[in-house]
Chain A
Amino acid sequence: MTTTTYREAVRTALREALTRDSRTFLMGEDVGRYGGTYACSKGLIDEFGPERVRDAPLSESAFVGAGIGAAMAGMRPIVEIMTVNFSLLALDQIVNNAATLRHMSGGQFSVPLVIRMATGAGRQVAAQHSHSLECWYAHIPGIRVLAPGTLEDARGMLWTALQDPDPVVIFEHAALYNMEGELPDTAGPVDIERAAVRRPGRDVTLIAFGANLHKAMEAARLLAAEKIEAEVIDLRSLRPLDDATIMASVRKTRRAVVIDEAWRTGSLAAEVSARVMEQAFYDLDAPVGRVCTEEVPIPYPKHLEDAALPQPEKIVAAVKAQLGARA
């Protein structure tokens, strides 16, 4: 076991990918000399050279589009977009091109491209750098959407995603980069299909992903002190969703609370909740609960930002409301 950080796990994954496949290059804003906005690619330009660790101009549409074109021509690019907010400038390329080319070419072309981007709030960077728009991407057929919430997944999802012949979008929550933990020396590629049960429990299922997984785990610890045993599910893959793991848990606990840093309206929490209603309605003892971000642009002051976001205490309250529904 090695003590490491999420950031270091991402860097190790990038290094592995560049080492193992000469068709892979990393392209994005400040990924080279600067070492990556979140220092995920620090040192890689010295190791692999500026051709393969390529600083791109501030042109999201063009460098994402160029990544798609290169992938069509047989490369295995990793394109980094600084944050999900900036990815809106490349939404056309991702939604209209990357996601459609296999289908509208009748299977002749695929787009084996990985797009990584930071997401999420919690760092006092205000309303234009704090979005959680994972659900927008999870809406789109033709792409896979991943949210690594653990060191193992930060280390292991990238290689598996690069082996996938279709475009994969990986969301790294910016609040996770400094997270420390132990990673086995044998850590390597992991599956990108299934949700994971991160904590077993019998009374309620908490469903989360990314950084909010850890808020859900904290809530489960608080609940355990009150003899309420929460099962925590980490979605890991946001498209496709692993219905089987979700339903197996909900059928056991008979209650579910979905935690999602997006705004409630049209969120992934809404989608997961609808699926639980569709597939496990008669197993439920209470309506599915949701803990989402307040429907306001993310404010700068820390106390207001904290109040806007899902927090362990809010999750605890939502669980207690569910248990109250039983009484």
Chain B
Amino acid sequence: MAVTKRAAKPGAKSAPASAEELMAHYRHMLLIRRFEEKAGQMYGMGLIGGFCHLYLGQEAVVVGMQAALKPGDSVITSYRDHGHMLACDMDPKGVMAELTGRIGGYSKGKGGSMHMFSREKGFYGGHGIVGAQVPLGTGLAFAHKYKEDGGVSATYLGDGAVNQGQVYEAFNMAALWRLPAVYVIENNKYGMGTSVERASARTDLYQRGQAYGIPGEQVDGMDVLEVKAAGEKAIAHARGGKGPYILEMMTYRYRGHSMSDPAKYRPKDELARMREEHDPIDRLRAELMEWGVADEAALKAVDKEVKEIVTAAAEFAQNSPEPDPKELYTDVLVEA
């Protein structure tokens, strides 16, 4: 197994990155955690409708990857997308207001939880057809290459999506044309309620590009620094004109597939064990203290700041007006 080595062993005496950078990772992960907890509460209160897929537990994946990307790069993902948007520095107010279907949301309320976009932040959605975002992300990579702008596209897909045919059509094209594409497989162990073992003949998903000569690596997706180190390597490969790269992030979602899923298909102790032993936020928090990057007070200040951001986002999302009925007919084709 090509498991990456940890950037710094637990118990290392010194921090592997600057204090500022480490604190930014912590803050980003905590923001996603608190945002998703709030979204879950608001869903329970009936303020959010439809599907709502929470990213709780997987925070280290997007935060680590985003830290390895540069402005001008492109990001695209499927429907469990709130964390990706917050990691891209999209405004939590606009994301939460989209969840409540209000005009202040990123898609004016018309996309909902699964469909948000930001041209400014290079975030291309927010897609609901499992696997169908992979050709789109490949097209984004194609555009980077065609324009020669030095950009890379990061396409996220889940362990369920890896069994969709169009993913392999896209892998072949990306390898054939040496496109600057990084495919990030977020293996959270379950595609809806079906475990990887019950869905995939081979479970080493990082090998799925082997037939096309695409290098792949398995990464501890519960460790933000591991993710970032692996992301940097893969992105450098793609940006350097060597073609696509696959990263399989071993991660875990704490909640069910969506808000309506109690997740009874999982072994009883699995969730508790993951939370207690592998939580990405607890882990970094302990390390920050261990390395002397932050003390209890500094971490509490971050907690407070994040809580205020999420509270403000929730308030905005409830106070932003609903879209005018005439919005039903806008944005279908360009308005004359």
Residues on A lying within 8 angstroms of B by beta carbon are 25, 51, 56-57, 59, 61-75, 92-93, 96-97, 101-110, 141-142, 144, 164-166
Contacts and interface: CB of A to CB of B under 8 A. Distances in A.
A20 B15 CA distance: 55
B100 interface: no
Contact of B137 (A57, A69, A71, A107): A69
B241 interface: no
Contact of B108 (A96, A107, A141, A165): A107
Interface of B: 74, 76, 105-111, 115-119, 124-129, 132, 134-144, 146-147, 165-166, 169-170, 172-173, 176, 330-334
Contacts of B109: 106
Contacts of B125: 101, 104-105, 109
Contacts of A165: 334
A69 B140 contact: yes
B331 A102 contact: yes
Given A62-B170, A106-B117, A108-B106, 15 more contacts: A57-B169, A57-B172, A59-B169, A66-B138, A66-B142, A69-B136, A69-B137, A93-B132, A93-B166, A97-B129, A103-B110, A103-B332, A107-B331, A141-B332, A166-B334
9 tightest A-B contacts by CB?
A69-B139, A65-B135, A62-B169, A59-B169, A73-B143, A106-B108, A66-B139, A106-B107, A61-B166
B138 A62 contact: yes
Secondary structure class of chain B's binding surface, majority of residues: mixed
A107 to B, nearest CB: 4
Contacts of A102: 331-334
Contacts of B106: 105-106, 108
A144 B117 contact: no
Contacts of A25: 146
B245 to A, nearest CB: 18
A69 B142 contact: yes
Contact of A97 (B107, B111, B132, B147): B132
A57 B176 contact: yes
A166 B333 CA distance: 6
Contacts of A105: 106-107, 111, 115-117, 125-126, 331
Contacts of A68: 135-136, 139
A48 B172 CA distance: 24
Nearest to B138: A66
B125 to A, nearest CB: 7
Given A68-B136, A103-B331, A166-B333, A108 B146 contact: no
Contacts of A65: 132, 134-136, 138-139, 166, 170
Contact of A66 (B116, B126, B135, B333): B135
A74 B122 CA distance: 12
Given A68-B136, A72-B136, A106-B110, A59 B173 contact: yes
